[in-house]
Structure 1
């Protein structure tokens, strides 16, 4: 039986990917950020996940304003890095797991979540930057990845409460898959940032650190935070944090925190990172 062993939570800032791709990781500006993932790269090399359910949001590459699913799962064999306007990132092709992804779609839809099922899509920095942060620059990613895309771009996005419930449904789906797999669930996006308007550049360290505190041991109540609070306190793009609840909902109620990291700024964004293991 497949089991979810851990959750990884991280920001997915596009400038981080550019720093990696252009060999700027050792520059004074970027070095403190990448040092915060030194432990993470060692940890995941020891954990050796077979499959990662990677929760992210598309940034108008696979989807656009004509069609934006609230929740989508990709069931294809492989996924190309997307061209986001300056060419695709020079990273490996993402290898999917069609059997598990199709099983999850069947289970979760029957569990009353209306997932959109997508076979082929290109994956942008929302998915590839977390992989680079955790695995570095390998010739191929060392495990399979199932993309789970969430709409946090076009109003209305799903609530944190609904995302938390989806995480629980994902766990039920994984645990009913009849193959011995070590599965991780990753929640990405955030933390506080706003990219436009009079508040462009907003970062709220207090909000971010309170969120990092509470998602470990008080996630269910935290998930009920209304969207307006994210926008008001963490900027218009801070609502990406609802995706972290999908990963947290897929874990046990009691978890062990293996690593925590917080850094500002990375471009115009606060970077948060957690590793939580099931007990």
Structure 2
């Protein structure tokens, strides 16, 4: 039977691949474009957000030296995760991530398994770049290739996971090849950045056959609850370990933690709940605390349940705050391993 021998959780924010002096590009947008920002379960205009956090002293953490130190520490943590991945010598990888209209467009599955022989990734087109929010294109090198590449999938394991999930009463979408957003070639996408980041930063030149498992974190209409995500993760682990192959498996998740407004106290609480394998705490996080980028914590919740099923324990490699405004907008970055 297959055995899960390693779990990894890794942030994937565009800020990690944006020069510290360029964080202000997105910061200016945060301040000016009028889009309310989720903070502590509520949507606030930027002016109200900054006022609410006036006593937090975030303005003192916006200098270039602090920003650069956070980036350096983050990449040191990613290097450590890569080393742990290589040392584990796994045969197969299951990636629990999320799609932001890069796999799917008109169809948005709550859960999907990509059981394909190959997983191609490709750069954006000029038309796609023209539609991006300001400050995003300059970070694409962190998850997209300069030309088309193809990674090995693991079709048999993908099919097995899907069948096992169906047997546990999950209505899961099974894709026999990498989904394509549209037949319009100007809109063709490679892999979602949640997965592309892992290939380029954690797996690097040690890519193994893999199965992307997608959790709909971002699109509220049919996004599963925290409780459902926890149960899903346990079912994924049981599926992997019931596979009739004597292989070593790593489960890797990516995204989160709090963003686009960093909330260190919530992040610390969440990491502690992960470390404790606290099903009750993780399963009862309300939806209004899992909005915008923070919604990606649903993938971490699923992975935590999978690690509990596999009997692995979590350690925090590092945690960094990438602030870009006085209101605390930006991204928090966590780097953890289960062994």
Alignment equivalent of 2:229, drawn from 134, 149, 163: 163
Q: Is 2:172 the counterpart of 1:132?
A: no
Whole-Å separation in 1 of the counterparts to 2:82 and 2:254: 16
Whole-Å separation in 2 of the counterparts to 1:219 and 1:187: 18
2:35 corresponds to which residue? none
2:5 corresponds to which residue? 5
Q: Is 2:151 the counterpart of 1:111?
A: no
Unaligned runs of 5+ in 2: 20-66, 130-139, 179-189, 325-329
Whole-Å separation in 2 of the counterparts to 1:248 and 1:190: 14
Whole-Å separation in 1 of the counterparts to 2:225 and 2:84: 31
Alignment equivalent of 2:294, drawn from 222, 238, 247: 238
Whole-Å separation in 2 of the counterparts to 1:273 and 1:213: 13
**Cα gap change, 1:266 to 1:96, in 2 (>3 Å):** farther
Alignment of 1:16-165 (within 5 A): 16=16, 28=68, 30-64=71-105, 66-84=106-124, 85-86=128-129, 88-90=144-146, 92-121=149-178, 122-136=190-204, 138=205, 141-156=206-221, 157-165=223-231
Q: Is 2:326 the counterpart of 1:269?
A: no
Contact 1:14 1:125 in 2 (8 A): no
Q: TM-score, normalised by structure 1?
A: 0.83
Contact 1:103 1:177 in 2 (8 A): yes
Q: TM-score, normalised by structure 2?
A: 0.69
Contact 2:277 2:308 in 1 (8 A): no
**Cα gap change, 1:237 to 1:49, in 2 (>3 Å):** same
More helix by share: 2
Aligned-CA RMSD value: 2.2
Whole-Å separation in 2 of the counterparts to 1:67 and 1:181: 33
CA offset at residue 68 of structure 1? 0.5
Larger radius of gyration: 2
Whole-Å separation in 1 of the counterparts to 2:200 and 2:268: 24
Whole-Å separation in 1 of the counterparts to 2:81 and 2:285: 29
CA offset at residue 51 of structure 1? 1.1
Contact 2:15 2:322 in 1 (8 A): no
Whole-Å separation in 2 of the counterparts to 1:36 and 1:119: 34
Contact 2:12 2:194 in 1 (8 A): yes
Whole-Å separation in 2 of the counterparts to 1:90 and 1:115: 33
